Structure 1
Amino acid sequence: MSTIRVVWGAASAPTEMASYDAALAEAGVENYNLVSVSSVIPADADVEAVGTAPDLGPAGDRLTVVEARATTAGPGQVSAALSWSQSVEGPGLFYETAGETDQADVERRVREGLRAGQELRKWTFDEPSVAVESQRAESGTHTTALVLAVYGEGEPIC
């Protein structure tokens, strides 16, 4: 397995979908088809927080992701958080949360969720990492905040 990159973005636009697309562009993954998976990190994967994704292949390719995402119609605030920890045995765990709330709240909730997931497994985990993205939404706009764990590189869909 290759690297899992953690990327993030936030943006405002006139519609909900346009704000999501603009947030994906901030994270560098706007030209891919995203396929969401649950939150297990394969044993042979390296996880790197990079902020913005590098070129991961041709436009239209499929990217496998774990996604934390929140969108609101302003005014307000949206925040998204992704936490992760790998085990000494090899595999690891992502946990994601998002909402119309502030950074401190989603960071607290994502850490609690990760701890709960760790307790379900008989692995010895290293210290957790967290990435949080947050943005205020102005009246008359839609705003999306997201954090993604992007598995590897793009794969052709057809």
Structure 2
Amino acid sequence: MSEIEIVWGTGEGQTELSAFDQALHSGGIHNYNLVTLSSVIPKDADLQIVGTHQQEWDVGELVAVILAENGSLAQGETIVAGLGWAEAEEGGIFFEGSGENRKNVEKRITRGIETAKSTRDSWNWDETIQTKVVEHTVETAGAVIVSAVHRPV
């Protein structure tokens, strides 16, 4: 069984890239080499909403992620990133979203999941759609991330 952690973070820096690194740090995934995956959840995966990953893997290790991110240099701007997911007996799907308004990001994620579910209409879907959406108000350079993190076995 594959364990997948849902983590998130916000960050500030002098540049968007340094803010992004701080957001990864806040989520506990800043010391890995992140490999972005498409959004399919393996069958029998164990999803855990943890907030911050506890650095249990080696520095520089390749770690698989589904990553929603947003960044900005506009002081006072609110930035939002979110991740949603739905599960079925056959597996599941994630959907990422970002923007400047929580409600719009949540709607975009839900629509994306519903579309992905209809593409897989023969699957036995749980009716529940779960989401984690995070906001951040930019001070200098800001970033926000929400990620599903796992190390394939």
Please, what TM-score do these two structures have when normalized by structure 1? Answer: 0.90
Structure 1 residue 55: Cα displacement = 2.4
1:91 alignment counterpart? 91
Please give the alpha-carbon distance, in whole angstroms, between the structure 1 residues aligned to 2:31 and 2:134: 20
- Indicate whether 1:132 and 2:133 are aligned: yes
Measured after TM superposition, the shift of residue 57 of structure 1 is: 0.7
Secondary structure of 2:17's match? helix
SS at match of 1:133: strand
Q: Counterpart of 1:23 in 2: which secondary structure? A: helix
Task: Please give the per-residue CA displacement for 1:106-138, whole angstroms capped at 9, x wherever unaligned.
Answer: 111111111111110021221111011110113
The 1-side partners of 2:70 and 2:113 are apart by 19
User: Aligned ranges for residues 46-57 of structure 1 at < 5 Å?
Assistant: 46-57=46-57
Query: Which amino acid in structure 2 is aligned with residue 124 of structure 1?
Result: N
Deviation readout 1:48-98 (Å, 9 max, x if unpaired): 1110012231111111000000111122111001001110x2310000011
Question: What is the SS of the residue equivalent to 2:151?
Answer: strand
Match of 1:59 in 2: 59
Contact 2:86 2:92 in 1 (8 A): yes
Counterpart amino acid of 2:55? D
- Counterpart in 1 of 2:43? 43
Unaligned 5+ runs, structure 1: none
SS in 2 for 1:125: coil
RMSD across aligned C-alpha pairs, in angstroms?
1.4
What TM-score do you get using the length of structure 2 for normalisation?
A: 0.93
Measured in 2, the distance between the counterparts of 1:151 and 1:56 equals 12
Total equivalences in the alignment: 150
Map 1:89-128 onto structure 2 (within 5 A).
Answer: 89-99=89-99, 101-121=100-120, 122-126=122-126, 127-128=128-129
Structure 2 CA distance for aligned equivalents of residues 103 and 12 of structure 1: 19
**1:17 is paired with a residue of what secondary structure?**
helix
Distance 1:111 1:80 in 2: 13
The answer to whether the 8 Å contact 1:5/1:152 transfers is no
Where in structure 2 are there 5+ consecutive unaligned residues? none
Q: Secondary structure at the match of 2:71?
A: strand
